[in-house]
Amino acid sequence: MDSEIKEEIPVHEEFILCCGVETQVLKCGPWTDLINNHSSTRPKLLIFIIPDPNAEEIKDIYGVRGQVEHKLAFLRTQVPKEMKLVVIGHSIGSYFSLEILKHAPELPVIRSILLFPTIERMSESPKGRFATPLLCWLRYALYVPCYLLLKPWPEKIKFLAIRMVLQMMDIPREFLCMNMLEPFCLVNAAYLGSQEMREVVKRDDETIKEHLPKLIFYYGATDSWCPKEYYDDMKKDFPEGDIRLCEKKIPHAFVMSFFQEMADMVADWLKDDLSKM
């Protein structure tokens, strides 16, 4: 029986200070320092997926605009200017990807892939109609109970609670993250969500039109955050664009159970781009 040999790709984690905020960076590959490494082994392409000591602090870092500026600051300070980029965004990360193209046209982005893109009418979507009042008005009432109930919990209890939830949802344990029950993280996530409902309204057709040849859109067939009618509108308004509809019943939150399928699909889409490097 043939055996498939898979190359081990090193993955390491770093925490850097970017825009005055401690930022977790997961690096996949043998390289560590892109800026100071000028050897022939330095990669020619960086795939930047949207999760500095000299960076200027950003006002409202946990808001929509602050998050865009944070990603731009990382690219401008941590990545060599001449290095080609592939930018992949999921959900609100797709909105950030378009904003990067809009506000930093000097970056050598050769491809941007927008997965289940929440780039318009978020509050009007089925999930948005439910989330908007919760995030925009009721979240303040949840802050105090959140701190009172979760802050005193011992780390062991938090670990057991998160593991139990993951088991109930049939989610692999690799996704276990202790920050999930940190009040600080929950509050900031709710704040960002409230801004998304208010600010992600009108689709940025001008930026899409300008960068259409390098964009790939991938919509879910049953996505309650960006329903199929949003896909239909995109196909109608940009018939020449690479706009795809999922035929594999992959959910919006694919990172929970369909991460391998999505990774294989995206890798296949990038074959032509990578072959030209």
Which residues are annotated as catalytic? 91, 223, 252
E-strand ranges in 178-253 read 215-219, 242-245
Burial 240-253 (b: 16+ CB within 10 A, else e): ebebeebeeebbbb
Per the CB < 8 A criterion, the answer to whether 47 and 86 are in contact is yes
Consecutive H or E run containing 173: none
Burial zone of 125 (CB within 10 Å; 0-12 exposed, 13-18 middle, 19+ buried): buried
DSSP bridge partners of 23 = 16
Determine contact, residues 94/117, Cβ cutoff 8 Å: yes
Encoded tokens for 204:
């940025």
Are 227 and 246 a contacting pair, CB within 8 Å?
Answer: no
Strand blocks (E) in the chain: 11-18, 21-28, 45-49, 84-90, 109-115, 215-219, 242-245
Contacts with 32 (C-beta within 8 Å, 6 or more apart), sequence order: 12
**CB neighbours (10 Å) of residue 53?**
7
